[in-house]
Amino acid sequence: MFSITVRSHVMVAHSLRGAMFGPAQRLHGATYVVEVTLRRSGLGPNGVVADLGAAASALREVLDPLDYRNLDEEPDLAGVNSTTEVLALLVADRLAERIRAGALGEDGAAIEAIAVTLHESPTASAGYERAV
């Protein structure tokens, strides 16, 4: 498998339900470094997995509606704890929609898998991987 990886970041507020979350049950902020790896079996006609600039732009388009927002008010997260894992799933799903709609052009049309990792600190991260 060939792969490319792009990164961005997003700043959010949220609260988590359940005693296991301790003080994170209160509204708090989080800044995530968001890393997305796109994979495909072979290279495209231009000798790449996909255009890195287009991939970075598509990721930013997915993150912009979440940036500086309270995830407790995000309709797609209604009734769900907005854990790092859940947010990785949301980003992967929204990015897959964009890829299927042609956001990465001819080369990106053959992307087979997306892996999203959200780094909540230099020592902790969570992720989700799915087929496109």
- Tens-place pLDDT, residues 89-120: 999 999 999 999 999 998 888 999 999 999 99
CATH T-level topology, domain 2-131? Tetrahydropterin Synthase; Chain A (3.30.479)
pLDDT for res 129: 98
Query: Residue length, the chain?
Result: 132
Instruction: Kindly state the percentage of the chain with pLDDT values over 70.
Output: 100
- Amino acid identity for residue 39 in this structure: R
